[in-house]
């Protein structure tokens, strides 16, 4: 169980649509060739057959995360993730995890701004047992006040150890809060500590009964199974759960950004200074979505490894940085960001890192990228995940992560074709749309004794 998707699962799963939903040929639109169907109660089911080993991954995604919390109730989605392991009348007091372990399986869960998910990896002949367990806690969760108080302290300790005692995480939390002016993405997934302390049993039951419903869930099963095996089991265990009326989604929108922001954190724990800058960007389903695929290619050209423009310039040629690059993740229900980062060599000048990356951005906006660079980036993106279909986890992450933000199976499967159709003209248009202008968030993480001219 994790306090935030941003550090582990988002990199491994959400970015998967940008990095592992690929196939060697950009002309082939099929990736995992899944079977899919919808139960009468509205629950979507996706099956990917992989008979290389007698193992399955069983993953349930809920289309609810931290962004669905009521104002003043941050942390509810993540605390509920913890409480889901406390038990039901049929399987009380942590018995869920004990059963999974006794059957030789492994399990985990994850919470993000956009969704919450639960998964188990077990022998294929234990799939029915996993469905029985997971469907039971979809509707029959018990949570006592003692359970809530215990898990609340576990979450608060996670927050202290992973955010409050980590300068980089504290800086990112503050920068994110300032970056999103109106969208709930500005709140941390784990929640603000004072609001975590104030969450009541009624709050938790309200969130559970509001969002944990079959018509708000997606089941993905990957491994040594077939759709003919999964369908009757899904109908038996999940299909008997009544659909629930869901509240209307709030259509959160960010106002236009027109100012440059800058946040500096100096801390005695910092040994390696670092710099970053992020810009507002669309996602697959939010904003100017036509720029999403070109921005994926752009991120690879600028910062995708040791041959990228930024790494080659700052690390190899100028020898200014120990590391530098770019990032972009289009897999979110709301707005995304396109960003750059860099860290100087020991004793180096962090101001020089900022200046050098600004030169690269200016060069990009002035001269653009070439068609050759675009084709090389597309080839690299595809080559990174040539073995994705052999994994028992990646298909569930990719398909679930895309569907939970509103993409169809067909759209996800068409990723290679769509990324392969990106042109230099489209990449340059996306760069101008996102990186031109002053609106950005710059962060500097410094040792306590450091000062940077112009920061106060």
CATH number of the domain enclosing 312? 3.30.830.10
List the one residue out of 283, 284, 292, 272 whose CA is nearest residue 341.
272
Question: 453 lies in a domain?
Answer: no
Domain-ending residue, one of 204, 237, 270: 237
- Reply yes or no on whether the pLDDT at 1 is more than 80: no
Question: 400 lies in a domain?
Answer: yes
- Reply yes or no on whether the pLDDT at 324 is more than 70: yes
List the one residue out of 404, 267, 390 whose CA is nearest residue 331.
404
Sign of the torsion formed by the C-alpha atoms of 234, 238, 242 and 246:
negative
CA distance linking residue 411 with residue 403, whole number of Å: 9
Residues 276 and 226 in one domain: no
**Percent of the chain residues past pLDDT 90, beyond the cut:** 84
**Percent of the chain residues past pLDDT 70, beyond the cut:** 91
> What is the pLDDT, as a whole number, of residue 453?
46
Confidence of residue 387 (pLDDT cuts 50, 70, 90): low
Residues 325 and 362 in one domain: yes
Residues 272 and 221 in one domain: no
Residues 216 and 266 in one domain: no
CA distance linking residue 325 with residue 347, whole number of Å: 20
- Reply yes or no on whether the pLDDT at 297 is more than 90: yes
- Reply yes or no on whether the pLDDT at 366 is more than 80: yes
pLDDT digits (tens, 9 = 90+) for 331-358: 999 999 999 999 999 999 999 999 999 9
Residues 46 and 172 in one domain: yes
Q: Higher model confidence: residue 121 or residue 10?
A: 121
- What's the structural domain count of the chain? 2
> What is the pLDDT, as a whole number, of residue 30?
63
- Reply yes or no on whether the pLDDT at 102 is more than 60: yes
pTM of the model: 0.91
> What is the pLDDT, as a whole number, of residue 395?
92
> What is the pLDDT, as a whole number, of residue 20?
37
Question: 401 lies in a domain?
Answer: yes
Residues 315 and 415 in one domain: yes
Residues 273 and 224 in one domain: no
CA distance linking residue 110 with residue 192, whole number of Å: 18
Encode burial over 151-179: b for 16+ CB neighbours within 10 A, e otherwise. bbeebbebbeeebeebbbbebbbebbeeb
Residues 267 and 205 in one domain: no
Residues 321 and 423 in one domain: yes
Residues 268 and 220 in one domain: no
> What is the pLDDT, as a whole number, of residue 37?
98
- Kindly calculate the radius of gyration of the chain based on its CA atoms and give it in whole angstroms: 23
> What is the pLDDT, as a whole number, of residue 173?
98
Q: Higher model confidence: residue 257 or residue 315?
A: 315
Residues 214 and 295 in one domain: no
Among 112-121, 187-196, 316-325, 386-395, which stretch is predicted with the lowest mean pLDDT?
386-395
Q: Higher model confidence: residue 159 or residue 449?
A: 159
> In this structure, what are the phi and psi dihedrals at residue 231, rounded to the nearest 5 degrees?
-55, -55
Confidence of residue 386 (pLDDT cuts 50, 70, 90): low
Confidence of residue 438 (pLDDT cuts 50, 70, 90): confident
Indicate which residue of 69, 81, 296, 354 is catalytic: 81
List the one residue out of 427, 319, 333, 436 whose CA is nearest residue 381.
427
Question: 157 lies in a domain?
Answer: yes
- Reply yes or no on whether the pLDDT at 226 is more than 70: yes
Question: 20 lies in a domain?
Answer: yes
Domain-ending residue, one of 237, 271, 290: 237
Among 29-43, 200-214, 401-415, 425-439, which stretch is predicted with the lowest mean pLDDT?
29-43
Domain-ending residue, one of 202, 237, 272: 237
Confidence of residue 383 (pLDDT cuts 50, 70, 90): confident
Residues 170 and 278 in one domain: no
Residues 250, 185 contacting (CB under 8 angstroms): no
Question: 250 lies in a domain?
Answer: no
Residues 218, 44 contacting (CB under 8 angstroms): yes
Residues 69, 195 contacting (CB under 8 angstroms): no
**Residue 81 bears catalytic tag:** yes
Question: 169 lies in a domain?
Answer: yes
> What is the pLDDT, as a whole number, of residue 385?
57
> What is the pLDDT, as a whole number, of residue 445?
98
> What is the pLDDT, as a whole number, of residue 437?
87
Supply the range of the domain harboring residue 29. 9-237
Question: 316 lies in a domain?
Answer: yes
- Reply yes or no on whether the pLDDT at 25 is more than 60: no
| H/E stretch holding 328 | strand 321-328
- Reply yes or no on whether the pLDDT at 267 is more than 60: yes
Beta carbons within 8 Å of 260's beta carbon, 6+ residues apart: 438, 439, 440, 441, 442
> What is the pLDDT, as a whole number, of residue 390?
73
CA distance linking residue 148 with residue 202, whole number of Å: 11
């Amino acid at each position: 169980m994790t306090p935030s998707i941003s550090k582990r699962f988002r990199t491994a799963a959400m970015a998967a649509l940008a990095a592992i939903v690929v196939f060697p040929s950009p002309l082939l639109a099929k990736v995992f060739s899944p079977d899919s169907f919808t139960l009468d109660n509205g629950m979507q089911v996706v099956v990917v057959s992989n008979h290389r080993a007698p193992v399955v991954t069983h993953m349930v995604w809920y289309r609810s995360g931290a962004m669905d919390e009521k104002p003043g109730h941050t942390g509810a989605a993540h605390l509920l993730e913890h409480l889901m392991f406390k038990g039901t009348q049929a399987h009380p007091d942590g018995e869920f995890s004990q059963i999974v372990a006794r059957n030789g399986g492994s399990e985990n869960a994850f919470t993000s701004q956009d969704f919450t998910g639960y998964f188990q990896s077990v022998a294929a002949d234990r799939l029915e047992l996993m469905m029985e367990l997971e469907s039971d806690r979809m509707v029959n969760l018990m949570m006592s006040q003692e359970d809530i108080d215990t898990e609340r302290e576990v979450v608060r300790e996670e927050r202290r150890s992973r955010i409050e005692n980590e300068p980089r995480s504290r800086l990112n939390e503050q920068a994110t809060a300032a970056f999103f002016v109106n969208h709930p993405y500005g709140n941390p997934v784990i929640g603000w500590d004072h609001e975590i302390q104030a969450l009541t049993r009624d709050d938790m039951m309200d969130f559970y009964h509001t969002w944990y419903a079959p018509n708000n869930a997606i089941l993905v099963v990957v491994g040594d199974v077939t759709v003919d095996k999964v369908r009757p089991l899904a109908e038996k265990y999940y299909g008997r759960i009544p659909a629930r009326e869901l509240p209307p989604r709030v259509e959160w929108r960010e106002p236009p950004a027109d100012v440059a922001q800058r946040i500096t954190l100096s801390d005695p724990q910092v040994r390696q200074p670092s710099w970053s800058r992020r810009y507002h960007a669309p996602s697959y389903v939010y904003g100017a979505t036509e720029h999403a695929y070109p921005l994926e290619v752009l991120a690879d050209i600028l910062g995708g490894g040791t041959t990228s423009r930024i790494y080659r310039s700052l690390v190899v040629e100028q020898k200014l940085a120990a590391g530098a690059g770019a990032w972009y993740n289009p897999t979110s229900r709301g707005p995304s960001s396109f960003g750059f980062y860099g860290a100087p060599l020991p004793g180096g000048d962090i101001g020089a890192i900022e200046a050098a990356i600004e030169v690269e951005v200016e060069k990009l906006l002035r001269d653009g990228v070439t068609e050759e660079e675009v084709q090389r980036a597309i080839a690299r993106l595809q080559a990174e995940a040539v073995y994705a279909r052999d994994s028992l986890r990646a298909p569930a992450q990719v398909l679930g992560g895309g569907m939970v933000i509103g993409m169809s199976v067909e759209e996800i499967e068409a990723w290679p074709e769509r990324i392969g159709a990106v042109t230099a003209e489209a990449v340059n248009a996306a760069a101008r749309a996102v990186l031109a202008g002053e609106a950005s968030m710059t962060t500097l993480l410094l040792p306590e004794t450091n000062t940077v001219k112009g920061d106060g």
